[in-house]
Amino acid sequence: MSVVLSERLVAPSILSADFGRLDADMATVIDAGARLIHVDVMDGHFVPVITLGPAVVKAIAPAVHERGGALDVHLMIEHPERFVDAFATAGADAITVHQEACVHLHRTLAQIRETGAQAGVALNPATPLETLAEAREYTDLVLIMSVDPGFGGQRFIAGSLDKLRRARAYLPAAVAIEVDGGVSLDNAATLVEAGANLLVAGNSVYGAADPALAFRALAAAVASAG
Ligand code: DX5
Ligand code: ZN
């Protein structure tokens, strides 16, 4: 994949984009400098909402890859192991599964890596970091949910900041830390200082009057954080 997950990056989430004009909405942020596009997959079971599946990832992947971008696919679904191969074949560059949805997490992370994609594991706000005691050695990315998954535009759960700090100390240095939910210009630098290097931004980019400008402002805040 063309994008290195250990970099500091803002990943716009297309959950808040216009699904009727995804190509144009993605081009807007890629032209503004985005390299990682966050794709929220929801199944109506693990979370209440249904969003999109591998067919949509396949449709958007060429335009993202041609522009030097990568697809960060966040699976908020039950039995993610049944769909990993389909999302990888469709063009996902990183695939993140929920710890809460995986009975055989070791096997599923290995399955993701076997496809050539980077493997990630996500934790809901109420799931302790320590549930990754064994898995932390074989994941490329840990996604800390800072809202309960299912919807864009929710308020950042304040305790997530401390969880990020503890995650940075708890996880091997090579493991990227992504924060997802309620990321804004107000907290972006603080989140980086707490240990996150990948910041998902849905509403704060696509809910803005000028998404390109909003992306650039977030990217600048992330780049200049201490
Ligand atoms: C929520 C999703 C997020 C969502 C974040 O379940 O996983 O990726 O798009 O949206 P904002 O940035 O609006 O909180
Ligand atoms: Zn997400």
| Ligand 1 centroid distance, CA of 145 (Å) | 9
Give the number of whichever ligand sits closest to the CA of residue 13: 1
Q: Is 53 in the pocket of ligand 1 (CB under 6 A)?
A: no
Instruction: Select from 93, 81, 21, 33 the least CA-distant residue to 57.
Output: 93
Q: Is 154 in the pocket of ligand 1 (CB under 6 A)?
A: yes
Atom of ligand 1 nearest to the CA of 16: 9
Tell me what the mean pLDDT of segment 183-202 comes to: 98
Q: Is 13 in the pocket of ligand 1 (CB under 6 A)?
A: yes
How far apart (Å, rounded) are the C-alpha atoms in residues 96 and 76?
A: 9
Domain assignment present for 89: yes
Which structural domain, as residue segments, surrounds residue 99? Answer: 9-224
Domain assignment present for 175: yes
Tell me what the mean pLDDT of segment 7-18 comes to: 97
Task: Find the CATH number of the domain harbouring 161.
Answer: 3.20.20.70
Q: Is 111 in the pocket of ligand 1 (CB under 6 A)?
A: no
Atom of ligand 1 nearest to the CA of 183: 12
pLDDT of residue 2: 74
Q: Is 72 in the pocket of ligand 1 (CB under 6 A)?
A: no
181 φ, ψ (degrees, to nearest 5): 125, 115
Which residues are within 5 Å of ligand 2 (an ion), measured at CB?
40, 74, 180
Tell me what the mean pLDDT of segment 4-22 comes to: 96
Domain assignment present for 45: yes
Residue minimizing CA distance to atom 6 of ligand 1: 149
Segment 46-57, tens digit of pLDDT: 999 999 999 999
Mean pLDDT for all residues in the chain: 97
Tell me what the mean pLDDT of segment 195-212 comes to: 98
Q: Is 125 in the pocket of ligand 1 (CB under 6 A)?
A: no
| Ligand 2 centroid distance, CA of 137 (Å) | 22
Using an 8 Å Cβ cutoff, are 14 and 25 in contact? yes
pLDDT category, 45, cuts 50, 70, 90? very high
Sign for the CA dihedral angle at 143, 167, 206, 7 comes to negative
Q: How far apart are the first and last CA of the chain?
A: 27
* pTM assigned to the model: 0.98
Domains held by the chain: number: 1
What percentage of residues in the chain have a pLDDT greater than 90?
Answer: 98
Domain assignment present for 139: yes
| Ligand 1 centroid distance, CA of 76 (Å) | 11
Domain assignment present for 209: yes
| Ligand 1 centroid distance, CA of 115 (Å) | 26
Tell me what the mean pLDDT of segment 210-222 comes to: 98
pLDDT of residue 100: 98
pLDDT category, 1, cuts 50, 70, 90? confident
How far apart (Å, rounded) are the C-alpha atoms in residues 219 and 199?
A: 9
Domain assignment present for 108: yes
Segment 106-153, tens digit of pLDDT: 999 999 999 999 999 999 999 999 999 999 999 999 999 999 999 999
For the cut 80, the answer to whether the pLDDT of residue 93 exceeds it is: yes
**Annotated catalytic sites, by residue?**
40, 180
Domain assignment present for 215: yes
Tell me what the mean pLDDT of segment 67-88 comes to: 98
Domain assignment present for 4: no
Beta strands 94-98 and 70-76 are: parallel
For the cut 90, the answer to whether the pLDDT of residue 189 exceeds it is: yes
